[in-house]
Amino acid sequence: MIKQTNDKNILLNRLLLSLGILIFIRIGTFLPVPGINHSHLAFYLERHSMTKSLVSTFAGNDTFVIGIFTLNIFPYINASILMQLLVSLFPSLSKLQKEGGGEGRRTINKLTRFITLGWALVQSFSIAFYLKRALFDWNIYLAGEIIIWLTTGAMIVLWLSEIVTEYGLGNGASILIYTNIVANLPNFGKNLFAQTTNNVSFTAWFLIALIFFTAIYGIVLLQEGTRIVPLLSSRQLNQTQRSNPTLSEVDKNYIPLRFNQAGVMPIILTTAVLVIPNYISNLGLLPVLTLPAFLKSSKILYWISYFVLILLFSSFYSTIVLNPKDISKELQKMAVSIPGIRPGVETTFYLKQIMQRVTYLGAIMLSILATIPNFIEAIIPGSSFNGLGTTSLLILVGVILDLSREIRSIILSNIYNEMFE
């Protein structure tokens, strides 16, 4: 009884801390930055959809407020993505991450924070000077104040997210993204029903519901699916007199190869490739590209490009995350081998083959799931799934699965502590 009470107290304290920080950040998102005339801003946004979409990217849909925490956790997310790419491109950073131990991880985290600060400054600078056309009383001093407020807010959000990671429930950055997605769901549902109430039959709604639940099942399978590669230590090999040990002897040691090593990165990169050129041309930074009429009107071509790019990025990113040669070297150092496979080059070749199959299967599944919203938009003419795409569903399902694992880990940890006390 006492043990159950302790478990509940620990979980309750962590939950309350996380909720308190999330509520504080949510309030700060709608707390206006001093100096901005938001009535002028709202007047301008109602008449310029391009600027409104830019503001809604950070502040949320139907929001006419530039808040202190408007940048939220996005500078850190972008910095983390950039840091992952830098680690994969520069051997010195890769060695520091793999062989540096705790000190190496702290150095990587410190570099990520510095990149976050730089990214927050860039985003704050862009917003401050882009608002020049929306604010009648804009001046260089107001722009400086906006940059300071937004950058400071972004760094405070980063600090609070690390507190959630350390002392709360779940990963702070993931929880904040999860909160932003959930906060936009009511507007998404309202807009979807307003667009489609009179135009969609019951059969179409049933088909959409079936596709939606199939997508959820596919995302869970993609997130949790692994290919098990059994391992055999030299000690186990000496204890057995057979040349080919059975799986029952090695079921406790294995390498889990996930179907989706890349996470949502392929979708993010694909969206950037397909959207950023058009976005830059809309800002007037590049001349408008004139495409043939059949390319502009062809949704099928866009879907094919989307599918192929996700497939390519997923395959490429997975090869960066997992290197079969490095894994083979680590197995040799630990005197561990794969049953029936010789250490060294043969192990590297075997792991490369397995990883290619797993990566291609995961990439195909991710590509199919990513194009599901396009099929639903084809079923419901005029609908838009900008507020709830595959990326959002992957994040929502991933955060829920991580939270369930962490809660289970806390409970089991307390049980073991009680047993050995």
| Distances 22 to 254, 369, 411 between C-alpha atoms, Å | 38, 30, 24
Query: Does 112 share its domain with 237?
Result: no
Do residues 156 and 71 lie in contact, with contact meaning Cβ atoms separated by under 8 Å?
no
Query: Does 223 share its domain with 137?
Result: no
Q: How far apart are CA 188 and CA 192, in angstroms?
A: 6
Indicate the residue among 139, 159, 189 that finishes a domain. Answer: 189
Give the pLDDT confidence score for residue 369 in this predicted structure: 80
Nearest residue to 109 via CA among 162, 178, 72, 73: 162
* Structural domain span for residue 230: 200-380
Query: Does 164 share its domain with 248?
Result: no
415 domain-assigned: no
Query: Does 180 share its domain with 204?
Result: no
Give the pLDDT confidence score for residue 373 in this predicted structure: 73
What's the predicted TM-score (pTM) here?
0.73
Q: What is the count of structural domains for the chain?
A: 2
Query: Does 209 share its domain with 175?
Result: no
Indicate the residue among 189, 208, 236 that finishes a domain. Answer: 189
Q: What is the pLDDT along the chain (421 residues), one digit of tens a residue?
A: 445 556 567 888 888 999 999 999 989 888 888 887 777 777 676 666 555 555 555 555 555 678 888 888 888 988 887 887 788 778 788 777 776 667 888 888 899 999 999 999 998 888 888 777 777 778 888 889 989 999 999 999 999 999 998 888 888 888 888 888 887 777 766 766 666 555 666 676 777 778 778 888 888 888 788 888 888 776 665 655 454 555 455 456 778 888 887 777 777 677 767 766 655 555 555 555 454 444 444 567 777 777 788 888 877 777 777 778 888 888 888 878 888 888 888 888 888 888 888 888 888 888 888 777 767 666 665 555 555 566 777 778 878 888 888 888 878 777 776 666 5
Q: What is the CA radius of gyration of the chain?
A: 25
Give the pLDDT confidence score for residue 352 in this predicted structure: 86
Give the pLDDT confidence score for residue 117 in this predicted structure: 94
Query: Does 372 share its domain with 232?
Result: yes
Q: Which residues pair with 254 in a beta bridge?
A: 230
Do residues 377 and 199 lie in contact, with contact meaning Cβ atoms separated by under 8 Å?
no
Query: Does 66 share its domain with 11?
Result: yes
Q: Which helix (H) or strand (E) holds 401?
A: helix 390-420
407 domain-assigned: no
Q: Determine the residue type at 402.
A: D
Q: How far apart are CA 46 and CA 251, in angstroms?
A: 62
309 domain-assigned: yes
Give the pLDDT confidence score for residue 220 in this predicted structure: 83
Neighbours of 159 (CB within 10 A): 11
- CATH number for the domain including 205? 1.10.3370.10
Query: Does 245 share its domain with 289?
Result: yes
418 domain-assigned: no
Q: What is the dihedral of CA 263, 264, 267, 273, to 10 degrees?
A: -100
Give the pLDDT confidence score for residue 150 in this predicted structure: 92
393 domain-assigned: no
- Beta-carbon contacts of 266 under 8 Å, excluding residues fewer than 6 positions away, are 309, 310, 311, 313, 314, 317, 363, 366
